[in-house]
A and B are shown apart, each in its own frame.
Chain A
Amino acid sequence: EAGVAQSPRYKIIEKRQSVAFWCNPISGHATLYWYQQILGQGPKLLIQFQNNGVVDDSQLPKDRFSAERLKGVDSTLKIQPAKLEDSAVYLCASSLVGGGSTDTQYFGPGTRLTVL
C-alpha cells in the first residue's frame, strides 16, 4: 500500500514570494490533514478536510494561507505572501474515516520550507 505522498520535499523562497505544496493521501482515505511543524516544536494542525469539505481550519492563518482538496483526493496548501516565520516542515496526513473516530493518521515525509 502506497503511503502519503508529498512534493516538493524541500523549498527555499524569499519572503513575500508565494509557494504551494501538494499532497496525495492514501487511496480511499476520507480525511486529510495539513500540519505545520516549526523546528523544536510538535506538529500543529492547520486544516482538516473530510472528503472535499473543511472540518476545521481554526488554526489556519487565512490572510496568507489557503488550502483546497478538489474531488476529495489530492490537496494543495498555498502560502502567499510568505513570511520568515513560515519556515517549517509542512506535514500532510490522512486517515480512513476521521471526524470523531480514533483512526490512525498516516503522515507523509513533509515539505521543508525555508523563507529567506
Chain B
Amino acid sequence: AQSVTQLGSHVSVSEGALVLLRCNYSSSVPPYLFWYVQYPNQGLQLLLKYTSAATLVKGINGFEAEFKKSETSFHLTKPSAHMSDAAEYFCAVSAGANNLFFGTGTRLTVIP
C-alpha cells in the first residue's frame, strides 16, 4: 500500500525566504513521487516528479525536491519565495499502476 504524509497543513514564509514543504511517503515497492500545486479555483499542475533517476529533481518555477530513501522523504524546496507561490501544494505517490495517492496538502502563504 502507498501513502504520503505532509507535515504542516499551513506554512507561512516571508517573500524572499526559503520555502520548505515536507512530505514523507510509505510504499511497499519503489515509489514514484510527485509534487502538484493548486491555485484557487484551478486544477492541479505538476511541479516535478521523481521516477528513480536522479534523486535531486528540478521542477518548474524554481522548485526542487530531493528523494531520500533512508528517510522516506521527498521534501519540496525553493530558495526564495515569491508572492505568486502562494497556493496549495500536494505530494503524491504512485507505485506501478499510475494511480496517485495524494497527501492532505500544505497551504503556503507568502508574507510581503
Contact = CB atoms under 8 A, between A and B. Distances in A.
Interface string A24-54: 0000000100000000111111001000000
Interface stretch (B14-22, B65-73, B76-84, B94-102): B94-102
A91 B92 CA distance: 15
Contacts of A102: 32, 49, 51, 94, 98
A81 interface: no
Contacts, number: 60
A31 B98 contact: yes
B59 to A, nearest CB: 11
Contacts of A105: 46, 98, 100
Contact of B104 (A42, A103, A110): A42
Contact of A107 (B44, B96, B97, B99): B44
Contacts of A100: 96-98
* Residue of B43, B92, B102, B105 ringed by the most chain A CB atoms within 10 A: B43
Given A102-B49, A102-B51, A102-B94, A45 B43 contact: no
Contacts of A93: 43-44
B32 A107 contact: no
Contacts of A98: 98
20 contacts: A42-B92, A42-B102, A42-B105, A43-B100, A45-B99, A45-B100, A48-B98, A56-B97, A91-B43, A95-B98, A98-B98, A99-B98, A100-B97, A100-B98, A103-B98, A104-B46, A107-B43, A109-B41, A109-B42, A110-B42
Question: What are the 7 closest A-B residue pairs judged by CB atoms, nearest first?
Answer: A42-B102, A107-B43, A107-B44, A102-B51, A98-B98, A109-B43, A102-B32
